Amino acid sequence: MSDDRAERIAGFIEALRVTPGSKVRLDRDFDPRHKAGLKKRDAAGLLRTGVDLLAEYQERLAAQNTYGVLLCLQALDAGGKDGTIRHVMSGVNPQGVRVSSFKVPSDEELGHDYLWRYAQRLPARGEIAIFNRSHYEEVLVVRVHPELLARQRLPESARGPGVWKRRYREINDWERHLEDSGFKVVKILLNLSKEEQRVRFLKRIDLPEKNWKFSAADIRERRHWDDYQRAFSKMLSATSTQWAPWYVVPADRKWFARLCTAAILVHTLMDIDPQYPQLPEADRKELLVAKRDLEREAPVGLPADPYTARHSSARDERTPGRRAGK
């Protein structure tokens, strides 16, 4: 990977990053229609490059088996979380990725502390985990609908004033602990405009094959649009940290949102820069002993090691000059 490409990706996503410690307002500071001067027709090729890079880095992440990545995706309904996950992760080995979707908590989940169910779904070393909705619902939907907080059966002391500030601190501390343990946390808010949500809802109603994606609850939540914008702004200001930054991705154009998400993930993996493990000398010697044994088993008339035979002849064909001693 050339440093040049890494630098360009870092530059591209820098504008989307919420500076840790800054106070932001979603409706004032971020434009859902922004597209960085790109055209849709250029996006397909760029996304393919991003997906290829992701596949390569994910393989190295798994082989090194030391670090893990957690991507949290937040958005309002019709924000494009599902499609983004599908497109961005399309080239990645499914064994190295796990996606968890978080809905209204079950009775069992409500019987535990609020981070419990998210902790169950964290990545292992070598894995990328994607949270489709995440622990941030605990300071979003739960903040917009105070009756949900009441359902959490918290003791009096944990419900009173300061509950949101406390949750921000607890979440920051939790993410810091993950970072210290080798797990990179990266957070994306797909930022949709109210008008684009209206258009997408109408499409889901108009097209019978999209009806299943629409629910009356979506319209009920839309009525709380301004409350959500406020909750998002407070969350971004309080929980974008050096160790787990927020990125606000313009989401009115699906192709641009996918490109940004791929770039953010690639950047995170490049930062880890996972390496294939090198075998210790003693283990390498053992491999060479095994190689000799396998070569001795070759049937008569066949090459002792077909792989080396094939590749060295291919190399020879590519470099005729060298064989001729030029």
Angle at Cα 95 formed by Cα 92 and Cα 96, nearest 5°? 65
Shortest separation between residue 312's beta carbon and ligand ATP, angstroms: 53
For 40, 133, 227, 248, 281, the CA distances from 104, given in Å and listed in that order, are 36, 11, 19, 24, 53
Among 6, 10, 55, 148, binds ligand ATP (CB under 6 A): 148
Residue 102's binding partner, choosing from ligand ATP, Mg ion, none, with beta-carbon cut-off 5 to 8 A by kind? ligand ATP
Rounded Cα distance between 222 and 22, Å, is 27
Residues 60-99, mask of contacts with ligand ATP (x by CB under 6 A): -----------------x----x-----------------
**Is 110 near ligand ATP (CB under 6 A)?**
no
Tokens standing for 301?
A: 């008339």
Q: Scanning residues 125 to 144, which ones bind ligand ATP (CB under 6 A)?
A: 133, 137-138, 141-142
Contact residues for 279 (Cβ-Cβ < 8 A; gap 6+): 287
Residue 133's binding partner, choosing from ligand ATP, Mg ion, none, with beta-carbon cut-off 5 to 8 A by kind? ligand ATP
Tokens standing for 116?
A: 């419990």
Comparing CA positions, the residue from 14, 2, 11, 29 lying closest to residue 236 is 29
Residues 61-100, mask of contacts with Mg ion (x by CB under 5 A): ----------------x-----------------------
Comparing CA positions, the residue from 62, 37, 7, 13 lying closest to residue 246 is 13
Comparing CA positions, the residue from 231, 261, 253 lying closest to residue 79 is 253
How is the beta sheet containing 128-132 ordered, strand by strand? 97-101, 128-132, 68-75, 183-191, 246-250
Tokens standing for 84?
A: 């983004």
* Closest CB to Mg ion: residue number: 77
- Measured from the CB atom, the residue of 204 and 267 that comes closer to ligand ATP is 204
- Measured from the CB atom, the residue of 105 and 123 that comes closer to ligand ATP is 105
Shortest separation between residue 144's beta carbon and ligand ATP, angstroms: 9
Contact residues for 29 (Cβ-Cβ < 8 A; gap 6+): none
Shortest separation between residue 117's beta carbon and ligand ATP, angstroms: 8
Among 28, 39, 41, 103, binds ligand ATP (CB under 6 A): 103
* Closest CB to ligand ATP: residue number: 137
Binding site for Mg ion (CB under 5 A): 77
Binding site for ligand ATP (CB under 6 A): 77, 82, 101-105, 133, 137-138, 141-142, 148
